[in-house]
Amino acid sequence: MRLPRTCSITHRSDFERVKKTGQSKAGRFLILSTLADPKLETIRTGFITTKRAAKKAHDRVLLRRRLRSLVQLYAPDFFEMRRYLVTIARVGAAEASFADIEADWVRQARRLGILPRADQKS
């Protein structure tokens, strides 16, 4: 599944609303925030990769691609698709392997309750 442009968070106000009223969980390499919104037709995602997370633009772009691929991979398993989902890269994420980032992302998604736990999946 490729994420269409309509699934992107494009307004700063949406990022702010997720930050203020949503839930978030922090892991070693990233912070995952979410906010359920029944008015949405589908998931809306946003990625924040600052210079603190990766000094070089090349590394920030690679990090965003990795995070986007995780959403594409796991979005069909989400309990509720009508939500905002913001992923913020932390310091050290650029040096981490894809497997480490994936494990951290899945762990935070399960803690937030948007993915089923490993023992719940059938």
Rounded CA separation 43/67 (Å): 15
In the chain, the amino acid numbered 77 is: D
Residues 72-112 pLDDT 10s: 999 888 888 889 999 999 999 999 999 999 999 999 999 99
In the chain, the amino acid numbered 51 is: K
Residues 3-45 pLDDT 10s: 777 788 989 999 999 999 999 999 999 999 999 999 988 889 9
Which residue ranges form the domains of the chain, and what is each CATH number?
A: 5-112 (3.30.230.10)
DSSP string, the chain: -PPPGGGB---HHHHHHHHHHSEEEE-SSEEEEEEE-TT-SS-EEEEE--TTT-SSHHHHHHHHHHHHHHHHHHGGG-S--SEEEEEEE-TTTTTS-HHHHHHHHHHHHHHHTSS--TTT--
Residues 45-81 pLDDT 10s: 999 999 999 999 999 999 999 999 999 999 888 888 8
Say what the pLDDT of residue 78 is: 85
